[in-house]
């Protein structure tokens, strides 16, 4: 009996350890922190190394479907749809995230990123250097 309980305990631990991150596969409506208007829908995907990335699925602001003119690298002058704006985000325990980067397609700059998940809201903070020198955006779950 002890061996069965031990085996079930180990199996349960393995299942929980390998469970996908709560952001994996979710779609979020980005909200501009200056205008409070919806900008885009982005989808989070968990990478093989356990980090998260988020890719623009569609643009919600008419007239802003244009290319990422100020982006560097593979996204330079490419349409915004399909641009991966979040890279390397890690779950640091519970509903907290850190260690990632976020691309601002408006200016083509990349910022350090951390975040907090609370129900249907994801608060992200992009910053340079230290978190105090940054700004927040709150995204709303779309699915």
Structural domain tally of the chain?
Answer: 1
pLDDT, residue 8, reads 45
Structural domain including 59 reads 21-141
Does residue 92 belong to any structural domain of this protein? yes
Q: Would you say residue 34 lies in a domain? A: yes
Please indicate, yes or no, if residue 1 is contained in any of the structural domains.
no
Is 10 within a domain?
no
pLDDT at position 2 is: 53
Contact 67, 81 (CB under 8 A): no
CATH code of the domain in which 101 resides: 2.40.128.520
Q: What pLDDT does 71 receive?
A: 85
Q: What span, in angstroms and rounded, lies between the C-alpha atoms of 143 and 23?
A: 11
> If we measure between CA atoms, which residue out of 128, 135, 139 comes closest to residue 56?
139
Predicted TM-score (pTM) above 0.75: yes
- Residue 106 has phi, psi (to 5 degrees) of -65, -45
pLDDT tens track for 33-72: 888 899 999 999 999 999 999 999 999 988 777 778 888 8
Write down the pLDDT at residue 7. 46
Instruction: Compute the distance between CA of residue 125 and CA of residue 102 in angstroms, rounded to an integer.
Output: 9
Q: Calculate Rg over the CA atoms of the chain.
A: 18
Residue 11 lies in a domain: no
pLDDT for the residue numbered 100? 96
Below-70 pLDDT ranges, the chain: 1-19
């Amino acid at each position: 009996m002890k061996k069965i309980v031990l085996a079930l305990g180990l199996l349960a631990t393995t299942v929980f350890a390998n469970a996908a991150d709560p952001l994996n596969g979710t779609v979020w409506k980005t909200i501009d922190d200056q205008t409070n208007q919806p900008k885009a829908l982005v989808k989070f995907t968990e990478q093989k190394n356990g980090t998260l990335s988020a890719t623009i699925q569609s643009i919600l602001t008419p007239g802003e479907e244009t290319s990422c003119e100020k982006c560097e690298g593979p996204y330079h002058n490419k349409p915004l749809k399909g641009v991966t704006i979040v890279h390397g985000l890690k779950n640091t325990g519970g509903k907290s995230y850190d260690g990632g980067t976020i691309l601002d397609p408006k200016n083509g700059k990349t910022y350090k990123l951390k975040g907090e998940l609370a129900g249907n809201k994801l608060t992200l903070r992009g910053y340079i250097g230290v978190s105090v020198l940054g700004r927040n955006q709150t995204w709303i779950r779309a699915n």
